[in-house]
């Protein structure tokens, strides 16, 4: 997700997901479960691209740009041309257009009765670079999950993770000039779901340590990028946390050998379908999901500032150094 300050440069949420090609699927022990055909992820990709084109059409740089930051980029595209690079280096629209199209802005959500922005923002992107990186990541992550678990479970995790990322972002980034857009919170939710799926289905994986190490490194690298300036890491963390919990609820599988044990002769010892720890994790995660969304939404619409309850949490989104400042996370 990108977080833009009015008139300032876009602040793109981490787009490092395309490092995750070596997901732990290669360590999976196949079962007799059928594989789903992926169609929802391609539709999500098309929807995001179409929304970006519509956003650029509404932006209409040649007509609306006053020239203070320079001329429109790629003017041969007509009203689809991009804002000057000083205003948006990601080759995209202006912050005003993103706000008009449904970008996440704390004041409008809480005081303007525009809660719908918590979801519309995940379909908007700050520029060509932003949308391409996120859509490549969605293809790499989402298709694997949809093929193995179906479009319903994958779609629920994607949308609820995007909502979770928006809630945490709005709780901690409350500058009225901040406009957040992008699918990164939802994508981090899919990464979180991959991790919980590995843990809850531990018995059906070979090379468990290698699978866990691979996925943890991928997640750590992507979250580490979020401590750079102009990156809304709260959306990443909120999305990841939501997807991680939802994975325990939605992605647990029958234990290894259960499918085969059903064909044993009468009177033979048949394995239970799920292990006890899978059921316990599912129940605990479901309870935490309900608590998280309830508390988060209540705090948000009461106008509470997350920074007042956690004085150090702003470091999760940006760590100041001598090379950059973190004014947007204050």
Residue positions annotated with a catalytic role:
184, 236
Please state, in angstroms and rounded to a whole number, the distance separating the CA atoms of residues 281 and 285. 6
Q: Which of 285, 290, 219 is nearest to 247 (CA)?
A: 285
Widest Cα–Cα separation across the chain: 82
**Alpha-carbon distances of 209 from 127, 138, 150, 315, rounded to whole Å:** 38, 25, 26, 30
| DSSP state string for 264-321 | SPTTS----SS-HHHHHHHHHHHHHHHHHHHHHHHHHHTT--HHHH-TTGGGGT---B
**Alpha-carbon distances of 87 from 126, 253, 325, rounded to whole Å:** 11, 48, 19
Please state, in angstroms and rounded to a whole number, the distance separating the CA atoms of residues 150 and 39. 10
Q: What angle do CA 322, 327, 328 make, to 5 degrees?
A: 130
- CB burial class (10 A; 0-12, 13-18, 19+) of residue 60? middle
Radius of gyration of the chain (CA): 21
**Dihedral over alpha carbons 250, 255, 257, 261 (to 10 degrees):** -80
Contacts of 251 (CB under 8 A, 6+ apart): 145, 149, 153, 193, 196, 197, 200, 201
Please state, in angstroms and rounded to a whole number, the distance separating the CA atoms of residues 256 and 107. 50
């Amino acid at each position: 997700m990108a977080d833009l300050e009015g008139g300032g440069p876009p602040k793109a949420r981490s787009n490092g997901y395309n490092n995750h090609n070596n997901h732990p699927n290669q360590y999976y022990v196949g079962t007799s479960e059928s594989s789903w055909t992926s169609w929802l992820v391609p539709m999500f990709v098309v929807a995001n691209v179409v929304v970006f084109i519509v956003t650029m059409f509404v932006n209409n740089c040649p007509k609306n740009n006053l020239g203070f930051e320079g001329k429109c980029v790629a003017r041969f595209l007509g009203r689809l041309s991009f804002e000057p690079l000083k205003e948006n280096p990601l080759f995209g629209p202006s912050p005003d257009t993103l706000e008009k199209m449904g970008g996440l802005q704390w004041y409008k959500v809480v005081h303007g009765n525009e809660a719908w922005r918590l979801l519309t923002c995940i379909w908007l992107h700050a520029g060509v670079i932003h949308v391409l990186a996120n859509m490549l990541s969605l293809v790499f992550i989402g298709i694997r999950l949809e093929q193995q678990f179906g479009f319903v479970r994958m779609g629920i995790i994607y949308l609820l993770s995007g909502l979770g990322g928006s809630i945490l972002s709005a709780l901690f980034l409350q500058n009225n000039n901040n406009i957040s857009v992008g699918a990164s919170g939802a994508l981090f939710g899919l990464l979180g779901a991959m991790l919980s799926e590995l843990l809850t289905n531990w018995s059906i994986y070979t090379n468990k340590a290698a699978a866990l190490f691979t996925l943890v490194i991928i997640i750590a690298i992507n979250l580490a990028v979020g401590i750079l300036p102009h990156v809304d890491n709260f959306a990443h963390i909120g999305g990841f946390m939501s997807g991680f919990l939802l994975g325990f609820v939605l992605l647990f599988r029958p234990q290894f050998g259960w499918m085969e044990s059903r064909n044993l002769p009468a009177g033979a010892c048949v394995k239970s379908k799920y292990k006890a720890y899978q059921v316990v994790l599912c129940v605990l995660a479901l309870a935490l999901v309900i608590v998280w969304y309830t508390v988060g939404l209540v705090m948000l619409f009461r106008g509470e500032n997350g920074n007042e309850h956690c004085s150090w949490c702003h470091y999760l989104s940006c760590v100041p150094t001598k090379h950059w400042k973190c004014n947007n996370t204050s």
